[in-house]
Structure 1
Amino acid sequence: MNLAILDGGTHYHREAIYGDRYRSRFDRAIYAPDLVLADLEDVGLLIVPDRIDPVLLRRHRALLDDFLRRGRTLVVLGGNEAETWVPGVDWAFRPLNYWWWLDKDAVPVQQLVTPEHELFRHLPFADTIWHFHGILLPPTGAKALITVPGDPGNGDLGGALIYEDCVTTPGRLIISTLDPFYHHGSHFMPAATRFLDGFLNWARHIS
C-alpha cells in the first residue's frame, strides 16, 4: 500500500512536501481541493498535514470517514479543526506561548506516557517539544502517546498532544495538535524539522 499526503497548496505545504528533504518519502501527493475516492484506493496511510483549510476538509469528511472504515491509517496534524470532521475527536483550548523556551528555567509540560509505542523507535520525545495549539481529549479506549497535564483542582484533567485511536474506527487514527509542516515549510522552529525526520521515517516504515 502507498503512503500519501494531502497538499493544501500553501507555500509551507509545497516547501515541505516537494522540497529536497522529504519529497522521496511520499508515494503520492494529492492536491486537497481535487481529492476524490479513486486517489485513495491503493493508499494505506494518508497524512493530513497541519493548517489545511478546515472548510475543505469538512467537505471531504465522508471520503475520509470511508478511508478509516476500510481499515486504513489516517494521520491528522494540528490547525485543521479536526474536531469538526474527524469522528470521536474533541479539542480544548490552551493558551499559546511561543517563547517559553527562552526562559532558562523553563520545563516543558509535555509528558511521554507511552514510550513503548512504535513511533518512538523513530522519533525521540525531545523532537516533539515546541509550542502546541490546544489539547485533544481522547475517546474512551484510545491510547494517549504524549499528554499535557491539567489542573484537577479546577476540574481540568488535561489531555493529549498525540493519541492513537483504533477503537472508535475500524482503521487507525493518529492525531496531534502539533504543526510541523507549517514550521518546517516556513523555515522556523528546528524541532519541527527534527519531528518530521522521525515521524516520516515511522510513516514510511508502517505504510
Structure 2
Amino acid sequence: MSTVLKPIVAVIDGGQHYHHDAITREPFASYFDHIIYLRDVAKTDLTQFDIVIIPCRTNAYYLAPLSRQFQAFMRNGGTLVAMGETFPNTWLPNIGLREMPTNFWWWLTPGADLGLRMSDPDHVVCDYLKKEDVTFHLHGAFEPLHENQKSLVETAEGECQMFEDEVSYAPGRLIATTLDPFFHHGAFFMPATTRMLAGMLPWLIDTEAERKAALAE
C-alpha cells in the first residue's frame, strides 16, 4: 500500500495587508507550505505544488498574463483555487461572472436571511462547511455555469457562488468562488469568513490527498 503524503500547498501573496495577515499568522499560516509573491509567479515552477491558492482580491491585471501557466498547472494534476474578487472570468476560459450589488447590512433586519445554501447536501464539502460559514455578503454569481462546473454554494435562486471543476483540466481541478473570506479575515471583520477558511482549507487538503491517492493507483 502506497503512503500518501500531505499535499504541498502554495498561496500567492498579492502584496495587500489582508493577504499578509491571513497567510502569515495563525490560525491559517500552518496550512501553507510556500508563499509566492504575485510578481514572482511567472518564474516559479508550479509543478512542485499540489494546490495553488489565489487569495481574495488579488489583482486580475497581474493574473491575466499567468493564465497559460495556471492552466498547465491544472492539466499536470494540480488544484487551482481562485477566491472572490479575483475575476477568473477575465483570465480563464469558460467562466461566466455576473456582478451584483453588495448589501453589507442585510443582517440588521430582524429575521433576515441572505439565502445562501450548500448546493448538494451529499457533497463532501458539506462535511467541512455549512451555510452559516459561507453567509456574509454577495459580490456576484457565476453565470452561466459551464456543464463541467459543479455548484457547491448557491443562492436560493440557484445563483452559483462556488464551483468545482474536475473535468475541464483533468487530471487537475479548478475551484472558484465569488466569496472573499481571505479579505475579511485579514482585515479583522466578519467572523463567518474565518469559519469559512477554517473549513475550506482542510477540505482542500483532505480531498487533494484523496485525489493523489486515486491517481497513484
8 A contact 2:114–2:137 mirrored in 1: no
Relative to 1, partners in 2 of residues 1:37 and 1:119: Cα closer, same or farther, differing over 3 Å?
Answer: farther
Amino acid at match of 2:186: G
Residue identity matched to 1:164 = E
Structure 2 counterpart of 1:135, one-letter code: A
Coordinate RMSD, CA, aligned: 1.5
| 1:185 corresponding residue in structure 2 | 186
Report deviation, 1:107: 1.8
> For residue 146 of structure 1, what is the aligned residue in structure 2?
153
Deviating beyond 4 angstroms after TM superposition, the runs of 4 or more aligned structure 1 residues are none
Specify the code of the residue in structure 2 equivalent to 1:139: H
By how many angstroms is 1:103 displaced? 0.8
Counterparts in 2 of 1:206 and 1:48: CA distance versus 1, 3 Å: same
In structure 1, stretches of 5+ residues that fail to align are 151-157
Shift of 1:120: 1.9
Checking the alignment, whether the CA contact within 8 Å between 1:4 and 1:46 is kept in structure 2 is yes
> Against the structure 1 CA distance between its residues 37 and 205, is the aligned structure 2 distance closer, same or farther, given a 3 Å change threshold?
farther
Letter in 2 for 1:65: Q
Question: When the two structures are superposed, what TM-score results if normalisation uses the length of structure 2?
Answer: 0.87
3-state secondary structure, aligned to 2:80:
strand
Structure 2 match to 1:23: 29
Bigger mean CA offset, 63-72 vs 4-13: 63-72
Q: TM-score, normalised by structure 1?
A: 0.91
Shift of 1:37: 5.6
Identity of aligned residues (%): 37
Q: What secondary structure, in the 3-state scheme, does the structure 2 residue paired with 1:97 have?
A: coil
Q: Distance in 1 between matches of 2:196 and 2:98?
A: 23
Q: CA deviation at 1:45?
A: 1.1
Task: Check conservation: 1:88, 1:168, Cα contact below 8 A.
Answer: no
Instruction: State the secondary structure of the residue aligned to 2:164.
Output: strand
Query: CA deviation digits over 1:20-79, x for unaligned, max 9?
Result: 211111111111111136431221111111101111000211111111121211111111
Contact 2:13 2:38 in 1 (8 A): yes
Q: Give the 5 Å matches for 1:69-108.
A: 69-108=75-114
Contact 2:9-2:33 within 8 A present in 1 as well: yes
**Count, aligned residues:** 200
- Which residue is 2:123 aligned to? 117
Alignment of 1:130 onto 2:136:
yes
User: What is the CA–CA distance in structure 2 between the aligned matches of 1:11 and 1:141, rounded to whole Å?
Assistant: 35
- Given that 2:118 and 2:126 are in contact with CA atoms closer than 8 Å, whether structure 1 keeps it comes out as no
Structure 2, unmatched stretches of 5+, are 1-6, 209-217
Q: Distance between the aligned counterparts of 2:117 and 2:168, measured in 1? A: 24
What's 1:54 paired with?
60
Which residue of 2 is the match for residue 155 of structure 1?
none
1:14 counterpart = 2:20: yes
SS at match of 2:50: strand
Task: Specify the code of the residue in structure 2 equivalent to 1:83.
Answer: N
Q: After the TM superposition, which residues 142-181 of structure 1 pair with which residues of structure 2 at under 5 Å, given as runs?
A: 142-150=149-157, 158-170=158-170, 171-181=172-182
- Greater Cα shift, 93-102 or 110-119: 110-119
> How far has the Cα of 1:86 moved from its partner?
1.7
**Alpha-carbon separation, structure 2, partners of 1:204 and 1:27:** 12
